[in-house]
Amino acid sequence: MTSTVIAPARGTDGARAAAPPGGRGPTVGVEEEFLLVDRRTGLPVARGPRVVNAATAVLGEQVQTEFFGAQVEVCTRPTADLAQLRSELALLRRVIGEVAAGEGCLLVATGTPVIPPESPPTVTPGERYGRMAARWPYLVGSYDGMVCGCHIHVGVPGRGQALALANHMRPWLPTLQALAANSPFALGRDSGWASRRSVEYARWPGVGPPPLLDEVGYERLADRLVTSGTLLDRRMIYWYARPSEHVPTLEIRVCDVNADLDTVLLLTALVRGLATALLPDIADGRPPPDLPAGRLHAAHRLAARHGLAGEGLDPASGERVPALTLAERLLTRAAPGTAAAGDLDLTEELFRRVRSSGGGAVRQRAAYLRRGRLGDVVGDLVRTTAAG
């Protein structure tokens, strides 16, 4: 649950809104949080600080510790090229996987631990993590609170545009959540959710759909949340879409981490494409949809419950339709942006693959049904995570 964002490339200061000469649209970057599990038992193991310390020699600040000791995080550099993004994600996974193997553990991309450990989780040492654990002990006393997400950044020229995009993207965030659902198993059982991570993550203060805000409103609300003690600091503003406090990006935080890199690339293409497609509406002064709060929360709840394999809710119209229909609508709305970046055909092909597989939650359940063994779920996740 760190708030450290994309490590800037040398000579840059983070993802930018305008592509470099010859670029393909706004730059993007991805953060992925992973679990570390014992290579024999599949149980989470608190070897994250050791893995990060060893991997830093190769990856520098692109690898970081996370809130729990059984987690690690990697961060890509900003790029305008999705092929380059995929290559970097694959490299980061490979290096961390190799280092983890040297520590007797395996890298797993899943939103929640599949197999429960035998002892309480360990919080990574550090002053800020210690303060968080002391203030919210009910969230850190068990592995229920250990969740792993995928955070997608899109470059913007400033906070004003990031907030405007977040305002206009609110109706589409549940569909991104459904596409990314990859945590049906939690602590040794099928939770009944496609994204159990969404449920556990929402227990933290500061998590949820972003409110409609301009820059002045954001500053006032952020200050009030901290001064009132609701949040420890601004880094705990965990809205599903938020302006970064450190680099000029809009950060989308609604997605589970996914073992399948096709899914990660699809989500990134859709986030950038949607942001690009919405910019003309913002430039024309069109107001964002003012969605009923209850309907928006219901849409997120259905996305977490079913993923792509059931019914969804269109938060703009209130219409209940198959989640796949909502995903197809998202592809259509983002198409002007994915086409402008030269990624339209790639996005459509990636969506066909994810639709065919059913998504991460469906794949995890299929692995379990073969023999009824949670170890098979972990094994499939380990292989898929490493196959990127």
281-307 pLDDT, tens digit each: 999 999 999 999 999 999 999 999 999
Segment 203-216 shows an average pLDDT of 96
Segment 125-149 shows an average pLDDT of 88
What is the model's pLDDT at position 54?
97
Segment 243-250 shows an average pLDDT of 92
* Cα–Cα distance measured from residue 375 to residue 367, given in angstroms and rounded to the nearest whole number: 9
Segment 127-138 shows an average pLDDT of 92
- Return the percentage of the chain with pLDDT > 90, whole number: 88
- Return the percentage of the chain with pLDDT > 70, whole number: 93
- Mean pLDDT, all residues of the chain: 92
Beta-strand runs (E) in the chain: 28-38, 63-65, 71-75, 105-108, 149-155, 185-186, 189-190, 207-208, 238-239, 241-243, 249-256, 311-313, 320-322
Residues in the chain: 388
Question: How far is C-alpha 282 from the chain's CA centre?
Answer: 25
What is the model's pLDDT at position 21?
35
Burial class (CB in 10 A: 0-12, 13-18, 19+), 387: exposed
Asked whether residue 22 carries a pLDDT value surpassing 90, the answer given is no
Contacts (Cβ under 8 Å, ≥6 apart) of 141: 120, 121
What is the model's pLDDT at position 13?
33
Asked whether residue 51 carries a pLDDT value surpassing 60, the answer given is yes
What is the model's pLDDT at position 162?
98
Domains parsed from the chain with CATH numbers: 28-386 (3.30.590.20)
Asked whether residue 49 carries a pLDDT value surpassing 80, the answer given is yes
Segment 53-57 shows an average pLDDT of 97
- pLDDT tens, position by position, 320-362: 999 999 999 999 999 999 999 999 999 999 999 999 999 999 9
The secondary structure of the chain in percent helix, strand, coil, rounded to multiples of 5, reads 50, 15, 35
Task: Answer yes or no: are the C-beta atoms of 260 and 181 closer than 8 Å.
Answer: no
* Closest to 301 (Cα-Cα) out of 173, 150, 165, 187: 173
For residue 188, what are the CA distances in angstroms to 112, 191, 200, 259, 376?
10, 9, 15, 19, 12
Residue type, 361: A
Asked whether residue 144 carries a pLDDT value surpassing 50, the answer given is yes
Q: Give 73-87 as a DSSP string.
A: EEEPPPBS-HHHHHH
Task: Answer yes or no: are the C-beta atoms of 119 and 70 closer than 8 Å.
Answer: no
Provide the β-strand partners of residue 313.
320
Task: Answer yes or no: are the C-beta atoms of 82 and 269 closer than 8 Å.
Answer: yes
- pLDDT tens, position by position, 81-105: 999 999 999 999 999 999 999 999 9
- Classified as helix, coil or strand, 230 is coil
Asked whether residue 108 carries a pLDDT value surpassing 80, the answer given is yes
